[in-house]
């Protein structure tokens, strides 16, 4: 057997450190909504004010949802 396969998964290789058990945030779609809102804002600057308005609304709604979710997660830890 090679050296990689002979080590158990719970052992840390020499020179490495054990990672702390830090909870990760839950996955969310809000960052994608912020990015899409920004894209619509810039697209609206080129095309029409309706697209720009949709982008602004989407950007603000996604940003507010993302901040609310982050604040809620921060309070729960």
pLDDT in tens, 9-49: 677 788 888 888 877 778 899 999 999 999 999 999 999 99
Number of domains in the chain: 1
Q: Which domain holds residue 73?
A: 52-77
CA distance 50 to 61: 16
DSSP reduced 3-state for 49: helix
**39: its two tokens:** 């894209």
The answer to the question of residue 47 being in a domain is no
Is pTM beyond 0.95? Reply is no
CA distance 41 to 44: 5
The answer to the question of residue 62 being in a domain is yes
């Amino acid at each position: 057997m090679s050296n990689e396969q002979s080590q158990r998964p719970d052992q840390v290789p020499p020179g490495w450190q054990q990672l702390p058990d830090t909870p990760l945030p839950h996955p969310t779609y809000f960052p994608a909504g912020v990015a899409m809102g920004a894209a619509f804002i810039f697209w609206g600057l080129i095309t029409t004010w309706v697209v720009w308005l949709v982008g602004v609304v989407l950007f603000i709604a996604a940003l507010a949802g993302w901040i609310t979710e982050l604040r809620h997660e921060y309070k729960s830890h």
